[in-house]
A and B are shown apart, each in its own frame.
Chain A
Amino acid sequence: MTAETVLFYVFAAVAVVASMLVIAQRNPIHSVLLLIASFGALSGLYVLLEAPFVAVIQIIVYAGAIMVLFLFVVMLLNAPHEETGHDLAVHPLLRPGPLRVGGVLAAALVVELVWALTAHGGESGAFPSGAVSSVAAIGRSLFRDYSFQFEVTSVLILVAMVGAVVLASRGPTGRAR
């Protein structure tokens, strides 16, 4: 095994284990941190694919985004532990409500994954190397070939942002709506 293969398995294992631990934590802060670990491992995988630009952007975008998530957890939820009292005895994932919703979502995900893998022969699309590592190439395809999709996405994000502000905004009395 070459060093790259070893590194691939290390990063992949960290990414998968950290992602699974994210949903197994009681404490939202720990979940948030495991999410960062998972994204860090993904970034390592991008480096192995010789796409340092994507790797760095992964860190910048998600580290920044998760910092906001962190603030929301600390400031809005205002509780380091999700539940108190008798609920502590049962893990959140094992309660009836979350179990059913999660089960349906998991089944849907499995079906989608199987379909996605079989419909295209299970082969990953081959990228010409260098196409994803060059910043100029990424910029050109993003702002020329895919400019419409890019702009539509940004409008979508703007709508989500306005929605979040409306939902979370405090009126002049200082109370949350």
Chain B
Amino acid sequence: MTPLLIAQIGLTLFVFVMLLNSAAIMVYVERKVAARLQQRLGPTLAGPRGMLQPLADIVKLMFKEELRPAASDWLLFSLAPIISATCAFAAFAVVPFGGSTTLFGLVPDGLPLQVADVNVAVLVIFAIASMGVYGIVLAGWSSNSKYSLLGALRSSAQMISYELSYGMALASVLVIANSLSLTDVVNRQAGAWLGVIPRWYVFLQPIGFLIFMTAGIAETNRAPFDFPEAEQELVAGYHTEYSSMRFAMFFMAEYINMVTVSAVAADLYLGGWHGPLLPESLGWVWFLIKIAAILFFYVWMRWTLPRYRYDQLMAFGWKVLLPLSVVNLIATSAAVLYFGL
């Protein structure tokens, strides 16, 4: 085994563990930020400032009884949370989160900070995201409960409506970057205009960025677009019948999907690991800062905006977001052709 291979296996494990951790951290951050936005304190008892609360939650979930409705389709019922969690982890595999590192000289060839460097990375993320919805839909259908089924149907309808705008926003960036590889897209954003403004695509694609973030919220089923699990209408939506660790897998998948969408947004629009002040080797710090900012934005949105009505969501997706993203794509392509970016 070469040092590079060992380093790559180590990196894969590292990313896996970090994604698990990020879900736990996000649970804590979500509860703390929500509490502050509502002028409460949030968790304070478990550990310093309540930081061990996620750990307590996990222990609680592990010791809960595993329930399964008698009339459910047992195979699909067990499979659904696994599909959700697997897709959530798999999507991050193609996300680069830093330039290459030599690990203090241990790997002379340089180790790219990315689990798998696929030259169609953007499409892979898109494909895995569309597979992940099957976890939700199957959960809803196999539970054999009306609330679960309604949640699942909403989820699939929502996915079909928002994936189009999501894809169009992605395509606009790819047209500018002239590549489908996320590493290439990030590296095209290095440097600065006039020495001050970073060459981030968010400045070239402000509308695309807004479309991407909006569709990203819909894709991750977060409020104000959390129709698949709208508590007031559907008890808990697609995971109504789930308990214990099976529920935990859906819960974890939701947070990991948020992290992935934020990481992709940081890579596509905010220059990835490029940023001023820090040296190139510390690029991952910039990346973490950007992800944290986007994640905070998501939490902030959730606790600020009330849920839309379902017909408003559909009308917004098809009548506003989709035409806007198509116009954006056409305008971007025309500009690239004309100015030869």
- Tell me the A residues contacting B by CB distance below 8 Å: 29, 33, 36, 52-53, 56-57, 59-60, 63-64, 67-68, 70-71, 74-75, 135
- Chain B: interface secondary structure? helix
Which one of B98-106, B116-124, B250-258, B269-277 contacts A?
A: B116-124
Given A52-B119, A56-B120, A135-B120: A63 in contact with B131 (beta carbons within 8 A): yes
**Contact partner of B130 among A52, A53, A60, A135, CB < 8 A?**
A60
Q: Using an 8 Å CB-CB cutoff, how does the interface string of B139-164 with A read, 1 for contact, 0 for none?
A: 00100000001000100110110010
Contact between B119 and A63 (Cβ–Cβ < 8 Å)?
no
Residues of B that sit less than 8 Å from A by CB: 73, 76, 118-120, 123-124, 126-127, 130-131, 133-134, 137-138, 141, 149, 153, 156-157, 159-160, 163, 180
Give Cα distance in the complex from A55 to B233, angstroms.
39
- Contacts across chains A and B counted by CB atoms under 8 Å: 52
User: Main SS of chain A's interface residues?
Assistant: helix
In this complex, which of B76, B127, B160 has the most chain A Cβ atoms within 10 angstroms of its Cβ? B127
User: Cα distance A63–B138 when bound, in Å?
Assistant: 14
Q: Give every chain A residue within 8 A of B156 (Cβ-Cβ).
A: 67, 70-71
Instruction: Give, as a whole number of angstroms, the nearest-CB distance from A84 to chain B.
Output: 16
Q: With A74-B149, A75-B153, A135-B180 known to touch, is A53 a contact of B160 (CB < 8 Å)?
A: no
Q: How far is the CB of B165 from chain A (nearest CB, A)?
A: 14
Q: List residues of chain A with CB within 8 A of the CB of B76.
A: 29, 33
CB pairs A–B below 8 angstroms (16 shown): A52-B118, A52-B119, A53-B120, A53-B123, A56-B126, A56-B127, A57-B123, A63-B131, A63-B134, A67-B156, A67-B159, A70-B137, A70-B156, A74-B149, A74-B153, A75-B153
Given A36, A60, A74, which contacts B141 in the complex, CB threshold below 8 Å?
A: A74
Please name the residue on chain A nearest to B125 by beta carbon: A56
Among candidates B73, B130, B159, B163, residue contacting A59 with C-beta atoms closer than 8 Å:
B130
**Contact B120 A67, beta carbon cutoff 8 Å:** no
Once bound together, how far apart are the Cα atoms of A171 and B107, in whole Å? 68
Residue numbers in B under 8 Å from A56 (CB-CB):
120, 123-124, 126-127
Q: Is the CB–CB distance between A52 and B120 below 8 Å?
A: yes
Closest to A134 in B: B119
- A67→B127 contact, CB < 8 A: no
Please determine whether B160 and A36 come into contact, CB atoms closer than 8 angstroms.
no
> Which residues from chain A contact B149 at a C-beta distance below 8 Å?
74
Q: Which residue of A lies closest to B164 (CB)?
A: A64
Inter-subunit contact B123/A60 (CB<8 Å)? yes
Q: Which residues of A contact B123 (CB under 8 A)?
A: 53, 56-57, 60
**Interface pair B157/A71, CB less than 8 Å apart:** yes
Q: CA A136 – CA B160 in complex, angstroms?
A: 27
Given contacts A52-B119, A56-B124, contact A67 B141 (CB under 8 A): no
Q: How far is the CB of A161 from chain B (nearest CB, A)?
A: 14
Q: When chains A and B are docked, how far (Å) is the Cα of A59 from the Cα of B157?
A: 18
Could you tell me the distance between the alpha carbons of A75 and B138 in the complex, rounded to whole angstroms?
Answer: 14
B contact residues around A63 at 8 Å (CB): 127, 130-131, 134
Nearest Cβ distance between residue B291 and chain A, in whole angstroms? 24
Known: A52-B119, A60-B123. A67 touches B153 (CB 8 A): no
Question: Measured between C-beta atoms, what is the minimum distance from A146 to chain B in Å?
Answer: 20
Indicate if the CB atoms of A71 and B153 lie closer than 8 Å.
Answer: yes
A56 to B131, CA, bound (A): 11
- Return the chain B residue nearest A68 by Cβ: B160
Interchain CB contact under 8 A, B120 and A36: no
The smallest C-beta distance from B223 to any residue of chain A, in angstroms, reads 23
B325 to chain A, nearest CB (A): 16
Closest 7 CB pairs of A and B: A59-B127, A56-B123, A63-B130, A60-B127, A56-B127, A52-B120, A53-B120
